[in-house]
A and B are shown apart, each in its own frame.
Chain A
Amino acid sequence: MPEHLSVTINDVPVCVARGTTVAAAMLLAEQPSRFSVGGEPRSALCGMGICFECRAMVNGVPHRRTCQIVCEPDMTVATNP
């Protein structure tokens, strides 16, 4: 069985399998990674680090490409400001 770990997404604790990317975790938690210039909720599109739709705030740093980041215990994730 894979290990699980807990991250916080928009102040809500979420339990994910070890190895889950932050983008996948945000999708599982049904939280948008960012809001577009026009106010639309957006999530990962290309899954390979190119589209930048998966940008979110990770541990206080905005604009991080979450499809390229693997969840770590106690990570704080928030929809990109």
Chain B
Amino acid sequence: MRRTDVLVIGAGPAGITAATAAAEHGRKVIVLDDNPAAGGQIWRGDTVETKDSSKHAEDAPRRKALERLRLSGAEVLPGRSVFSVDASGSLQAIRENTSGSQVEEFLFEKLILATGARERFLPFPGWTLPGVFGAGGLQALVRGGYRIAGKRVVVAGTGPLLLAVAAHLVEDGAYVSAVVEQASLAQLAPFAVSMWSNPGKLLQGAGYRAKLWKSAYRIGCWVVEASASPDGLRSVKLTDGTSTWTEHCDLLACGYHLVPNTEIASLLGCAFRGPFVQVDSDQRTSVPNVFCAGEPTGIAGLEAALVQGEIAGLACAGRDVASLQKRAAAERSFGERLEKAFALREELRAVPREDTLVCRCEDVRLGSLRGHTSWTDAKLQTRCGMGPCQGRICGPAVEHLLGWKPISVRQPLFPVPLQAFGSDAGQTEITESTEITEITERTELQEKR
């Protein structure tokens, strides 16, 4: 059992700045993340050492932030999945390693939820074929050592993530034959125009586009089907609503923007505004001593996560945050424009066929889901959502296709070994992690070479 002043869940950009701010102002801070290393999604580091670690545009700001976090004295514990929490100030996480697993309990005064977002997956015929990944999903796997140099990739779906992913894949040696964005020009144009007031973002976008000069960028188009031969993925059928054509590829990276990870907030009883956690200007939720920063409060990208995290960390340390409010507000309105720009078109509902799988954990087809009256009814009668992902993948798809809101977030938030419930769970000593130090040391070494 560990006690801390501030417990931060999530070591992505928001969690990193939150922990840094709180620790720099004297608070004892522990950060938990379920990935093998800190960084979250957009700042996901390569787990494999590479010669050329500065090739990605985000690397310099990321390295600086991680270094500042390290110097702040905050303690980062990666590989921990939070599965249980209660508002009275205790939280349980499971740490799995190759020999087994350990339950760790944390007592906190203040909790900062920086749990980020996950990709929204919308089913289409062939989406379960090998070679089909999420957009952020493929990027994460490449960061984890999946080498794709020379492979022909189609990047599809919706959201600013697509350009970023495509640019990174090109940097990793893949040939991105097409980037296919479902949003129409009419939807995107106001957003693009508004970027003039955000020069940083404009430059970032331009930077991505420059990398993708060899790729076709198709707006107002979407995937209708993926097909494979016995050797692997062959092609993807695309449409613009009028004509349909086939694009040959080895890999398809397809994701439909992001949905917030709000399970812990839900469990704690935080108030929501729509799908997002409601927070005040200090990033406080409706539950005392619980803060939330970044994507769970509204999908608004990296800069929003950074400033919100800093606000939450400073607020936890009792510091004044007024100077950051203007930036936070600007990023929030960017997020609102993002939502409008990348709203899902109606035609996507007609893409899956009746025999297309919707729930991948339990292999439930769209046809089986129809005729039920609610998420719970469908779940009980078809098993949709009863698998280990607990509806995180199929839930947003079902909501989009059938209009049912998935409900009942329950503990455990992630599957845990049964021993986590028994008497001798949580008896192990927790040693301070050195992973974060390793990453910074490795990159320092590379810079010297």
- Inter-subunit contact A46/B363 (CB<8 Å): no
Kindly provide the distance from the CB of A65 to the nearest chain B CB, expressed in whole angstroms: 8
- Give the residues from 13 to 33 in chain A that come closer than 8 angstroms, CB to CB, to chain B: 16-21, 23-25, 27-28, 30, 32
Most buried by B among A19, A40, A63: A19
- Inter-subunit contact B144/A46 (CB<8 Å): no
Contact with B along A42-77 (1 / 0, CB 8 A): 111111111111010011010111011110100100
- Inter-subunit contact B49/A50 (CB<8 Å): no
Q: Is B47 an interface residue when CB atoms closer than 8 A count as contact? A: yes
- Inter-subunit contact B128/A36 (CB<8 Å): yes
- Inter-subunit contact A19/B363 (CB<8 Å): no
- Inter-subunit contact A47/B141 (CB<8 Å): yes
Which among B129-137, B180-188, B191-199 touches the partner chain?
Answer: B129-137
Question: Which residues of A sit under 8 angstroms from B136, Cβ to Cβ?
Answer: 46-48
- Inter-subunit contact B363/A37 (CB<8 Å): yes
- A44's closest neighbor in chain B, by CB? B141
Per the bound structure, the CA–CA distance linking A3 and B121 in Å amounts to 36
Per the bound structure, the CA–CA distance linking A51 and B136 in Å amounts to 13
Per the bound structure, the CA–CA distance linking A49 and B12 in Å amounts to 14
- Inter-subunit contact B96/A25 (CB<8 Å): no
Question: Which residues of B sit under 8 angstroms from A46, Cβ to Cβ?
Answer: 118-119, 121, 134, 136-137, 140, 393
Kindly provide the distance from the CB of A59 to the nearest chain B CB, expressed in whole angstroms: 5
Per the bound structure, the CA–CA distance linking A57 and B258 in Å amounts to 30
Choose from A19, A32, A55, A59 the contact partner of B47 (Cβ within 8 Å).
A19
State whether A24 and B35 are in contact (beta carbons under 8 Å apart), knowing that A50-B118, A53-B360, A63-B415 are contacts in the complex. no
- Inter-subunit contact A44/B133 (CB<8 Å): yes
Most buried by B among A3, A20, A23, A48: A48
Counting contact residues on chain A (CB < 8 A from B), the size range is: 35 or more
- Inter-subunit contact B139/A47 (CB<8 Å): yes
Q: Is B41 an interface residue when CB atoms closer than 8 A count as contact? A: yes
- Inter-subunit contact B48/A17 (CB<8 Å): yes
Q: Is B362 an interface residue when CB atoms closer than 8 A count as contact? A: yes
- Inter-subunit contact B35/A49 (CB<8 Å): yes
- Inter-subunit contact A23/B141 (CB<8 Å): yes
Per the bound structure, the CA–CA distance linking A66 and B81 in Å amounts to 14
- Inter-subunit contact A67/B140 (CB<8 Å): yes
Question: Which residues of B sit under 8 angstroms from A48, Cβ to Cβ?
Answer: 35, 41, 118, 136-137, 140
Q: Is B402 an interface residue when CB atoms closer than 8 A count as contact? A: no
Choose from A41, A45, A53, A67 the contact partner of B144 (Cβ within 8 Å).
A67
Contact with A along B363-394 (1 / 0, CB 8 A): 10000000000000000000000011100110
State whether A24 and B34 are in contact (beta carbons under 8 Å apart), knowing that A19-B47, A42-B128 are contacts in the complex. no
Interface residues of B (CB under 8 A from A): 34-36, 41, 46-51, 79, 81, 96, 98-100, 118-119, 121, 128, 130, 132-134, 136-147, 232, 357, 360-363, 387-389, 392-393, 415
